[in-house]
Chains A and B, each alone.
Chain A
Amino acid sequence: MATTLEAEYVFGAEDLGSRAKVVKFAVFQRHEGQGAAQEHELVSFEAMMLPHLDAAHNLARWLMRNEQDAQDVVQEAYLRAFKSFSGFHGSNGRAWLLTIVRNTSYTLLKKNRAADLTITFDEEIHASGRESVSPAAILEHAEDAELMKNAMNELPAEFREILTLRHQEELSYQEIGEMLKIPVGTVMSRLARARAKLREYLASQMSQEK
């Protein structure tokens, strides 16, 4: 048993969108056992980070607002994370990974659509009918997933991310502050503004529906 055997993936890369990929194992001989340490590190990296794949994907999906970009971001983020994994000694793997996902998202957002990053938005569109809708009516419609999704997608990226981190990942203000490199007080005020803005957008969507 002097020969080391390894299993590896082979997958048909053609037609990624419409068909399930074929994942295969290939068996081959390894040259001299090089990279064994790297592989070992990869296994522990995957054991620690792959459980947070849904969280990573969800955050990227909200930031990028489309599936293809989100998947590219997550893949790139896992590569980046693996490269700096040896420097990670913290206890909160999820927050660490999400920070990388976030930074990767922003890199791509900046490249693609610089405009998306700023908080400026078309006041005129959203100003209409804001006051004519009662809080009770807004809340009633807030249960509508489609409406909520559309309203959230209209928010600027930094509002989308803070709502995701708080409401879906249920991170504390402190954890969010560390991730975004902002003080806890800023987390508080940004979250408040994000919720207020979201309510406005829900209201404007409802008045458009009428």
Chain B
Amino acid sequence: MNCEEIKNLMDAYLDGELDPITSQKVEQHLRDCPKCEQAYEVETAMAHAISRAAPYYKAPPELRDRIQVSLREAIGVTISRGAAAEDPLPVRRPEAVRRGIFFEMPWNWLALAAAIAVAAIVASSFLPRLRQPGPEQFLATQLIASHVRSLMADHLTDVASSDQHTVKPWLDIKLDFAAPVVDLTGDGFPLIGGRLDYLDNHSAAALVYQRRKHFINLFIWPTTPVDGKEQKIVEREGYHLVHWIDGDFTYWAVSDVSVGDLQNFQRSFGKQLAAH
């Protein structure tokens, strides 16, 4: 390959988008050609600078309200005045639409209690059967739901700290196991905090890490006999899940970052853990 060809492939190379053979050829050329090597370094630094310095415009909270109102208008739900509630409409579950009412009307508490009881009975009798065809899928759904909820409901962390020595003791007190906590700032995954969660019929520790503008939820619980032994990568609804087992613990990392980033995250976590 000559320098001109390398120049054309350089962006794809640094984005990790070349096939392995071409990628290797570029690598070889960069090793031999100081001029291209230097150009590549500038290119790489530039790419990182864009990722880091370009502002990410998060949606203002009122935009969400505005959209939800306009969507309801679109399906012809009439709007009339009534009791006030400050919460924006929770969106995860169908029954959430009616939640506002329950908060306002005490006479409905009884109905709510009855509904929960019925739901619990139905759930407990159906869940085991539902789980049989695809326990993994069911778990993946729960994991993604928990990840999404943590980002939506302003409940990312129970304990917000980038210090593992703050997060770990906090979790240890609340949980009946000692979840491993490591800081991965050095590897580009700063620790944001920790959270308690309840998944798959047991409590779990959720560690929250950041990857550039994105968040990674790492769920940890002591391995049970039903947990899959082998490493797994799942992709669903634009989210990626990476599963592994290390020592006594089962890990699930969930995020919308790329699979490659999640695998790097897994490697960093394992490395840091071993170092402790």
Interface residues, chain A, with chain B CB atoms under 8 Å away: 1, 5-11, 16, 20-28, 35, 38-40, 42-48, 50-54, 56-58, 61-62, 70-71, 74-75, 78-79, 82-83, 91-95, 135, 138-139, 142-145, 147-149, 152, 163-164, 166-168, 170, 172-173, 184, 188-189, 191-192, 195, 198-199
Contact = CB atoms under 8 A, between A and B. Distances in A.
Contact of B58 (A6, A54, A191): A54
A122 B75 CA distance: 47
Interface of B: 8, 10-12, 15, 17, 42-43, 45-47, 49-60, 62-72, 74-86, 88-89, 91-94, 96-101, 104-105, 111, 148, 151-152, 212-214, 235-238, 256-258, 261
A51 B80 contact: no
B81 to A, nearest CB: 5
Contact of A48 (B62, B81, B104, B237): B237
Contacts of B66: 21, 71, 75
B91 to A, nearest CB: 4
Contacts of B52: 143
A57 B46 contact: no
Given A74-B67, A142-B49, 19 more contacts: A6-B97, A9-B79, A25-B83, A26-B79, A26-B80, A28-B78, A46-B68, A52-B238, A54-B58, A58-B57, A58-B59, A78-B67, A78-B70, A93-B237, A94-B256, A139-B42, A148-B54, A148-B55, A170-B212
B84 A142 contact: no
A47 B65 contact: no
A78 B69 CA distance: 11
A32 to B, nearest CB: 13
Contact of A28 (B10, B60, B80, B256): B80
A74 B63 contact: yes
Contacts of A62: 57
A163 B257 contact: no
Contacts of B69: 9, 11
Given A21-B65, A71-B63, A173-B17, A27 B83 contact: yes
Contact of A163 (B50, B75, B83, B98): B50
Contacts of B57: 57-58, 61-62, 70
Contact of B152 (A20, A44, A50): A50
A46 B93 CA distance: 10
Contacts of A6: 77, 97-98
A9 B53 CA distance: 38
A46 B11 CA distance: 36
Contacts of A28: 78, 80, 82
Contact of A24 (B56, B68, B81): B81
A25 B82 contact: yes
Nearest to A36: B94
B99 A7 contact: yes
B47 A78 contact: no
Question: Which of A35, A40, A54 counts the most B-chain CB atoms under 10 A from its CB?
Answer: A54
A108 to B, nearest CB: 16
**Chain A interface SS verdict (over half):** helix
A49 B62 CA distance: 16
A9 B72 contact: yes
B54 A163 contact: yes
Nearest to B54: A148
Contacts of B42: 135, 139
A51 B152 contact: yes
A58 B59 CA distance: 7
A39 B77 CA distance: 9
A168 B84 CA distance: 38
A51 B153 CA distance: 10
B58 A5 contact: no
A7 B98 contact: yes
A28 B45 CA distance: 58
Contacts of B152: 50-51
Given A7-B98, A57-B57, A91-B235, A35 B83 contact: no
18 contacts: A10-B80, A21-B62, A25-B104, A28-B80, A35-B76, A39-B97, A53-B67, A58-B59, A74-B67, A75-B67, A91-B235, A94-B238, A142-B45, A143-B49, A170-B212, A170-B214, A173-B17, A199-B46
